[in-house]
Structure 1
Amino acid sequence: SGRSKPTASLVDNTTWDLVRDLETLREKLGIEKWMCFGGSWGSTLALLYAIEHPTRVSELVMRGIFLMKEEELQFFFQQGTSMIFPDAYQAYSQHIPVAERNDLITAYYRRLTSDDEPTRREAAKFWTTWEMSTSFAKPNVEYILKGDDAEFAAAFARIETHYFVNLGWLPTP
């Protein structure tokens, strides 16, 4: 929800920290079993929570399933979605020097974790605008403009790339 403090902190911020946080929340609320619902990254988190705490899940509802697989990340952020949204991809990729474009996620992560605030802010804008430009089949101007919201973009892009460069801390086959 974007209300965590400090904003965009990467400390104790892994998939497994989130699964533990969900279980802590369930316990504090006194809920015996609950339905886990999630879309995109939320589907991954819901599934992992259900695997870790199967007796605490009554139903599992997922949409737009995203499993944090290397192939999914490559398709969305490197090659694939670029053919569906070529103009948005051009703006997103051209922010990164040609020598680093073979791994845009890592290139953006370096900028989003830089000590230089203007570098972070600019990278966050381009990353978030790309993500929001490709989240719907038809452009949604309200979402695309989230790239201009410096606070939202900084948190969104920094945390998202943190998860992506670490492949969600999930085991790989």
Structure 2
Amino acid sequence: MRRLDDPYFDILPETQSGMLDVGDGHEIYWEEAGNPDGIPVILIHGGPGGRTQPGFRRSLDSNIWRVIQFDQRGCGRSTPEGLIEANSLQHTIADMEALREHLEIDRWVVAGGSWGSTVTLAYGIAHPGNCLALTLISMWLCRDEDIHWWFQGVRYLFPELWHEFARHVPEAERSDLRTAYCARILDGEQEIADEFATRLYQYEEGFMRFAAPVVPLDLSRGPKYGRIFAHYARNKFFVAGDELLDGASAIAHLPVKIITGRYDCCTTPSNAFDLSQRLPEADITLVAGAGHYPTEERMSLVCLEKTSELADELQASGWRA
């Protein structure tokens, strides 16, 4: 039963969906919901290795927005499931362009959280002329320091979680868990690979949440999620150092909403703040009492507020379908 004070919008079923052949043996699943004449927005899921979910649409008024979602290569309902060949950040950007052209959309709002924010920013830098605005939630710049935090620095806040993650490799390898885990997941026998991929998945889920989860973790997702994540991690997420910060000037003319939890232990607030220093006109919100997940209450309420605010701004500026 829905509460009377529930501020979120109804999750309406998709109006159309399909599979798009993007080459290299990959087909990506996509779906559309909301107003076909509304402001087009593409929602980018996290990971790498995640999947799109209808619940992401709860912060969007279906009367105003035309919502596009898709599963990245090897993820969710895209095929072949788990394929890491021809699978990179640059491939994802190209897939988004193919999908935009397929749906005959001129410009759209691009929005994503966590790894999805990385993809969103990278897409905006590559194709600023095709963007109406960007929304970046739980920003992750994938600099060397950000990757190091993920694999090593989490120990300072979650020592018991990190210890459990680290103890399965020899002590001599624990100073570089990225290399240690990627080798076992990508180069090991299948049983070992699945075991370490699941441990990686459990580790990440252990420090992303601010509130306790309401349902048990689905460990069956671990092997495929962990394999794609490890592939990206081995390649430093296909981002070269400060590449995304250095390229941010390409989107300086666009409306940009940056939202991050004050206590985000996965993609630390330094990511969002450092980006905001390169985009002085961006609207940045550090959400008190919030962690990483945009679906948790404090984060989701701010996402709802900022999404509605952006719709008002675009309509006031004269946006037309």
Quick check: 1:89 aligned with 2:158? no
TM-score, scaled relative to structure 1 = 0.90
CA displacement, residues 53-106 of structure 1 (integer Å, 9 cap, x when unaligned): 111111100111101111011112112x11211221111111222121111111
Change (3 A) 1:141 1:92: farther
Quick check: 1:131 aligned with 2:200? no
TM-score, scaled relative to structure 2 = 0.50
Quick check: 1:162 aligned with 2:234? no
Quick check: 1:7 aligned with 2:81? yes
Q: CA separation in 2, counterparts of 1:115 and 1:97? A: 15
Whether the aligned pair in 2 keeps the contact of 1:33 and 1:55 (CA below 8 Å) is: yes
- Equivalent residue number for residue 38 of structure 1: 112
Whether the aligned pair in 2 keeps the contact of 1:19 and 1:45 (CA below 8 Å) is: yes
Alignment of 1:1-173 (within 5 A): 1=51, 2-79=76-153, 81-140=154-213, 142=215, 145-146=217-218, 148-149=219-220, 152-172=221-241
Judge which range, 12-21 or 89-98, deviates more.
Answer: 89-98
- Quick one: which amino acid aligns to residue 189 of structure 2? D
Change (3 A) 1:94 1:164: same
Whether the aligned pair in 1 keeps the contact of 2:142 and 2:241 (CA below 8 Å) is: no
Q: Give the fraction of aligned pairs with identical amino acids, expressed as a percent.
A: 32
Q: CA separation in 1, counterparts of 2:152 and 2:77? A: 30
Whether the aligned pair in 2 keeps the contact of 1:92 and 1:130 (CA below 8 Å) is: yes
Structure 2 segments unaligned to the other structure (5+ residues): 1-50, 52-75, 243-321
Change (3 A) 1:95 1:115: closer
Q: CA deviation at 1:15?
A: 0.6
More strand by share: 2
Q: Which has the higher contact order (CA 8 A, sep 6+)?
A: 1
Tell me the SS of whatever aligns to 2:174.
helix
Q: CA separation in 1, counterparts of 2:141 and 2:115? A: 7
Structure 1 segments unaligned to the other structure (5+ residues): none
Whether the aligned pair in 1 keeps the contact of 2:89 and 2:119 (CA below 8 Å) is: yes
Q: CA separation in 2, counterparts of 1:141 and 1:130? A: 17
Query: How many pairs does the alignment contain?
Result: 168
Q: CA separation in 2, counterparts of 1:77 and 1:64? A: 17
Q: CA deviation at 1:168?
A: 2.0
Task: Answer with 1 or 2: which has the greater Rg.
Answer: 2
Q: CA deviation at 1:163?
A: 1.3
